[in-house]
Every structure is written in C-alpha cells, then in structure tokens.
Amino acid sequence: MSTAVCVTLCAGAAAQTTPVNIITDPNPTNLSGRGTFGGLVIDGFARVNSANAAGETTSEVDRVLTDGFRSYGGRLDTDNSGSIRFLVIAESGVAFRPDEEIQGLTLEGVGSGTRIQFVQVLGSEDDGVEWFGGSVNADHLVINGADDDSLDMDLGYRGRVQYALALQGTTNGNYGIESDGNGDNFNAVPFTAPRIANVTILGNKGRIDENT
C-alpha cells in the first residue's frame, strides 16, 4: 500500500510555506500517476454524526494505515488542528476496499479553528477532498483529475467551501460534489449542511461506477 501522512488527535498540521510544497512520490518530474502516495489525513475534535456516546468515531483510514484503531471527533466544533496553506498533494488517493478509501486530503472531524487554504490535489485515485463531519472551512481549492468525486462531504460536515475549481478525471470521475449524511442512521445529527459558493466544476468524459 502507498504511504500517507496522518495528523492524529492532539497533533497539529503546519504547511505554510511559500508556494509550492509537493507531497508525492520520489519522482516529482512526472506527475501523471495516481495512488503512489496515500494522501494527507487530519483528525480533529469537532462533531461527527457517527460518533459514540463520548463523541468519538473510529477512523477506518487510520486503522488500515497503522494496523490499529484511532479515533476522531468530539464536541469542540471550533477545534484547531493547525494550518494548511499553499500545498500541492499529487499522485495520491488509495481505494483499499469499497467505501473505504484515502483521499488526496481527508478531513475527519476537523474544527473551524483549522485553516485550509490554497490547496491543490492533483491526480487522486479516489476523491480530491473529503470531509467526515467537522466544521472546518476551506477556500481556494483546485482539484485535477480525481478518479472519484472532486469534493465529498459526509457524516455531518457543516463548514464552508468557497473559491474552488475542479476538473473531473477521465476514467471514473464520478461526481463533482457528493454530499451524504450517515448511511446507517438517516436521523443522525448534526446533519450534513455545507455552505458552498464560487465553485466551478468541469466534466471530462469520465464514467460513474457503482462505488461512488
């Protein structure tokens, strides 16, 4: 399996360099591949609608990557998991089982105190960016050639996404935006309610497969 970077609870992400950081394979001269780097995963303490009584949710992504169980989510919607700015994540994303994937950028229960700005995901084998609950805002995003959805929002995500450009992949490229609640409990709260503005999505003759 590809390696990935996981920022777990009580840790913090920091990528605030002058443009551009590239997270990819050891050969940065050819960025036409997919899945050579798992992606970037950030866990936070914000609310998620699949949480247990303690407000926590087991991370399937971390379980597969670390061969152990880690949790994300909580009750602090203003949680600060750090700052991600001026970042390129290339040749990323791994779909290791149906409905269990690592996206280019995976945000799990990340709170509104976190900054996500000026991020490009290039050539993800799964989604470009996926939010699992949380309330983090993100702006100035570019998603090129995701094999699944460019932007995917689940499990009670309630943040704002603004100023985004997405060019779908040519193989699958399922949806520009996918937004779901909790597939196991349609009444689970908080409901997924993102605010999306100033977004352009371009199709690229991809196809929709059964694993959306």
pLDDT band per the 50, 70, 90 thresholds, residue 55? low
User: Is 135 within 8 Å of 158 (Cβ atoms)?
Assistant: yes
Q: What is the pLDDT of residue 194?
A: 98
192 DSSP assignment: P
Residues 6+ apart with CB under 8 A from 59: 41, 43, 69, 70, 71, 72, 108
- 152 close to 110: Cβ distance less than 8 angstroms: no
For 87-125, the pLDDT digits (tens) are 999 888 776 666 677 889 999 999 999 999 999 999 898
Mean pLDDT, rounded, for 1-15: 61
Say what the pLDDT of residue 94 is.
76
Answer whether 129's CB lies under 8 Å from 152's CB. yes
Domain boundaries, the chain: 5-202
Q: Encode pLDDT of 169-185 as tens digits.
A: 776 657 899 999 998 89
Average pLDDT over residues 10-22: 51
Contact 25, 36 (CB under 8 A): yes
Residue 184 tokens, joined: 């196991």
**pLDDT tens digits along 150-209:** 999 999 999 999 999 999 877 665 789 999 999 889 999 999 999 999 999 998 765 555
If DSSP codes are grouped into helix, strand and coil, which group holds residue 165?
A: strand
Angle at 119 between CA 39 and CA 110, to 5 degrees: 65
